Chains A and B, each alone.
Chain A
Amino acid sequence: MGDEAILARIRGGDRAAFGELVERHQEAVFRVVRNLLPRGADCEDLAQDVFLTAYTRLASFAPARASFRTWLLTIARNACLNALKKRRPLLTDFSGESPHPADPGSPGDDLERAELHRRLDAALEQLPFEQRTAFVLAELEGLSLEEVGRVEDVPVGTVKSRLGRAREKLRLALADLVE
């Protein structure tokens, strides 16, 4: 059953059908929220708010303009931006436990991978919001450039430019690591 059929049931008063819609899209929303907010932010609460906002604004969803997923990720992106505006500047603390559990491999590889991940995490957190959003939506969520443009409400050319700058900054974060 597609999103449209589920949406029709919700419009008909079937509240439980909204749970099916949540289950279909919860991973995408979590992925975007987790990667747009700084580490330590309450992603679950914000992800719930995204779905509640979607529920109350279902009447404004226009399938001709975007897919439900794109519309939902637009709400998620805007919710993250609002949350970032409200919170005080956050100092990122990378001194604690590594968020990247070591994969099986030689100890040298593990250390190198952990260092590489730490640098990329730091570089991602330092990207301007619009570049970070473009990177997260295109590279991690797999949206097309057109879809990213719809979420950010900018032309495809702007998305390409933001994505290019984001990739370049991430690449620079690894510049002095050995090949």
Chain B
Amino acid sequence: MRSDEGYESWKQHRARAEVPPDFAADVLARLPAPRPRVGPWLRVAACALAGLACLFRIASVLGLFLPS
């Protein structure tokens, strides 16, 4: 056998890709979970609630110093 024939057969061997049958399914199973989509209205409502809670807390603290 000539060495160039052997070289070509070696390249063919190295170029084989033995992919497991369920490889794509396994990759899909490992994909990170999609982030839940939060609508803009929900963000506005959350900010408003946080703001109200903050104001309420400030008022409570200030109330301690007011004469009863």
Chain A positions within 8 Å of B, measured between CB atoms, are 13, 15-16, 18-19, 22-23, 26-28, 30-31, 34-35, 44, 47-48, 51-52, 55-56, 100, 103, 105, 109, 112-113, 116-117, 120-121, 124, 139-141, 170, 174, 177, 179
**CA distance in complex: A100, B13 (Å):** 8
Which one of B28-36, B42-50, B54-62 is at the interface? B28-36
Check if B14 sits within 8 Å of A13, measured CB to CB. no
Asked if B17 lies at the interface with its beta carbon under 8 angstroms from chain A, I say yes
User: At the interface, is chain A mostly helix, strand, loop or mixed?
Assistant: helix
User: At the interface, is chain B mostly helix, strand, loop or mixed?
Assistant: helix
Provide the residues of chain A in CB contact with B30, threshold 8 Å.
48, 52
Chain A CB count within 10 A is highest, among B9, B17, B32, for B17
Q: How many A-B residue pairs have CB under 8 A?
A: 84
| Closest CB pairs A-B (n = 9) | A116-B6, A27-B17, A22-B24, A30-B17, A31-B17, A140-B15, A51-B27, A120-B10, A19-B24
CB distance from A169 to the nearest CB of B (A): 13
Check if A112 sits within 8 Å of B1, measured CB to CB. yes
**CA distance in complex: A31, B7 (Å):** 17
CB distance from B57 to the nearest CB of A (A): 39
Given contacts A27-B17, A140-B14, contact A174 B32 (CB under 8 A): no
CB distance from A49 to the nearest CB of B (A): 9
**CA distance in complex: A100, B27 (Å):** 29
Given contacts A116-B6, A179-B3, contact A19 B28 (CB under 8 A): yes
